[in-house]
């Protein structure tokens, strides 16, 4: 069959290309239905990702957050129409110590490999996870972003000291919201504080124990562990504050992506004996765990619906551009594309 792929060819410029695909292979074919725009996609769309990466990775279909319906399973095991979340990471080898999303040989969609902006996505059998019916498709579309948190917290469990008292999360956006929410379900007895910049954003964090403006942190305020979800220029300022108020031997989970190297006060990292845990992307198991959380706590997808921002029906390349431009003008929530192209 001829598959249509919608690729970014240069900043703000999408083009349609065609690829011949065989139906005789092993892969399951999924028709995308709802796709969600990540901050990483916007760095490519706007060209902020940097000239070198743009040159190396484009042309490329964007989007690594999305759900779809099974259109064809060559083994006829998964019924046509099954609603699934698609896993963007594709490992090419196994390693007993290194998780699939950290293997340099893995292929991550929309970072050097075509993402989900295609008519049909061809996926290995272990790269799809069926979704429970109760989860609204707009919310389900950004499940990948939720897996970033579940993955980071599973690393935190493996690597941090065992004290579980007070968590601080920096970043009053999508990832900060998701992280605070999952923390409250995974550690119901713990105190969770969101550190942010903007009142109307912090107002959405109804389930946290405390919300604090980053320029109004009370003196002698302490936390046991910190999670950085700010990214960009804000990362450095956030990490500085974390190092200041975290107790000795605490863990700092770094999730925010920055295009530029950030300075870290290593003297205090050493003096306090802190553990810095970097966390990027996620693997198939994280998707399964996240969907299990949706099943166990149906309130989680309900809370996540607060993040559904712009929903754009996409029927043409122009609609894709419109969705990306509208996403840039929003300051709260996720942009979802109903994929009708």
Ligand X SMILES: NC(=O)C1=CN([C@@H]2O[C@H](COP(=O)(O)OP(=O)(O)OC[C@H]3O[C@@H](n4cnc5c(N)ncnc54)[C@H](OP(=O)(O)O)[C@@H]3O)[C@@H](O)[C@H]2O)C=CC1
Among 30, 37, 40, 58, indicate the residue that binds ligand 5RP (CB under 6 A).
Answer: 40
Q: How far is the CB of 30 from ligand 5RP (least distance, A)?
A: 18
103 binds ligand 5RP (CB under 6 A): no
38 binds ligand 5RP (CB under 6 A): yes
Q: And the tokens for 297?
A: 């706590």
Q: How far is CA 313 from CA 38, 46, 74, 310, in A?
A: 17, 21, 30, 10
Q: Is 65 annotated as a binding residue?
A: yes
Residues 35-64, one symbol each (x = binds ligand X by CB under 6 A, - = not), give ---xxx------------------------
User: 180-187 long-range contacts, Cβ below 8 Å, gap at least 24?
Assistant: 180/205, 180/207, 180/208, 181/207, 181/300, 181/303, 181/304, 182/146, 182/149, 182/150, 182/153, 182/293, 182/300, 183/153, 183/227, 184/208, 185/293, 185/297, 185/300, 186/153
> Which of ligand X, ligand 5RP, Zn ion, none binds 111 (CB below 5-8 Å, type-dependent)?
ligand 5RP
Of 193 and 282, the one with the shorter C-beta distance to Zn ion is 282
Q: And the tokens for 64?
A: 């690594």
Q: Is 38 annotated as a binding residue?
A: yes
Among 58, 60, 86, 148, indicate the residue that binds ligand 5RP (CB under 6 A).
Answer: 148
Q: Distance between CA atoms of 8 and 263, rounded to whole angstroms? A: 32
Of 64 and 225, the one with the shorter C-beta distance to ligand 5RP is 64
Q: How far is the CB of 301 from ligand X (least distance, A)?
A: 18
Task: Give the CA dihedral 39, 42, 46, 49, nearest 10 degrees.
Answer: 60
Q: How far is CA 275 from the centre of its chain?
A: 23
196 binds ligand X (CB under 6 A): yes
Give residue for tokens 């490992």.
91
Q: Please tell me whether residue 286 adopts helix, strand or coil conformation.
A: helix
The H or E element that residue 53 is part of is helix 51-57
Which 75-134 positions form the footprint of ligand X (CB under 6 A)?
none
For ligand 5RP (CB under 6 A), the number of binding residues is: 11
Of 231 and 283, the one with the shorter C-beta distance to ligand X is 231
151 binds ligand 5RP (CB under 6 A): no
230 binds ligand X (CB under 6 A): yes
197 binds ligand X (CB under 6 A): yes
Q: And the tokens for 164?
A: 């579980």
Interacting span for ligand 5RP (CB under 6 A) from 24-32, 37-45, 211-219, 306-314: 37-45
Q: Is 144 annotated as a binding residue?
A: yes
For the four alpha carbons of 326, 341, 13 and 260, in that order, the dihedral sign comes to positive
Which residues contribute to the annotated binding site for Zn(2+)? 38, 64-65, 144
Point out which residues bind ligand 5RP (CB under 6 A). 38, 40, 43, 64, 108, 111, 144, 148, 257, 280-281
């Amino acid at each position: 069959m001829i598959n249509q792929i919608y690729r970014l060819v240069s900043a703000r410029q999408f083009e349609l290309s065609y690829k011949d695909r065989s139906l005789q292979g092993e892969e399951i074919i999924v028709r995308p239905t709802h796709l969600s725009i990540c901050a990483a996609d916007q760095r490519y769309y706007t060209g902020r990702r940097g000239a070198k990466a743009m040159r190396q990775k484009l042309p490329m279909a964007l989007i690594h957050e999305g759900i779809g319906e099974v259109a064809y399973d060559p083994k006829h095991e998964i019924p046509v129409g099954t609603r699934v979340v698609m896993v963007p990471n594709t490992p090419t080898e196994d390693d007993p110590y290194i998780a699939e999303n950290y293997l340099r040989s893995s292929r991550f969609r929309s970072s050097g490999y075509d993402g989900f902006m295609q008519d049909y996505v061809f996926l290995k059998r272990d790269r799809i996870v069926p979704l429970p019916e109760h989860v609204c498709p707009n919310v389900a579309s950004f499940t990948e972003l939720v897996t970033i948190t579940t993955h980071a917290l599973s690393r935190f469990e493996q690597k941090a000291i065992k004290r579980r008292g007070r968590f601080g999360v920096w970043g009053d956006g999508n990832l900060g919201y998701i992280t605070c929410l999952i923390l409250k379900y995974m550690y119901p007895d713990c105190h969770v504080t969101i550190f942010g910049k903007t009142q109307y954003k912090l107002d959405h964090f109804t389930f946290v124990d405390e919300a604090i403006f980053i320029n109004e942190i009370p003196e002698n305020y302490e936390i046991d562990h910190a999670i950085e979800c700010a990214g960009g220029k804000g990362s450095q300022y956030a990490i500085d504050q974390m190092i200041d108020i975290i107790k000795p031997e605490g863990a700092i989970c770094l999730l925010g992506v920055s295009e530029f190297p950030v300075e870290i006060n290593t003297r205090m990292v050493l003096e306090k004996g802190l553990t810095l845990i970097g966390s990027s992307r996620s693997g198939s198991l994280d998707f399964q765990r996240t969907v299990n959380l949706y099943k166990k706590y149906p309130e989680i997808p309900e809370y996540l619906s607060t993040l559904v921002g712009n929903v754009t029906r996409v029927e043409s390349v122009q609609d894709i551009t419109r969705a990306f431009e509208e996403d840039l003008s929003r300051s709260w929530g996720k942009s979802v594309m109903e994929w009708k192209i």
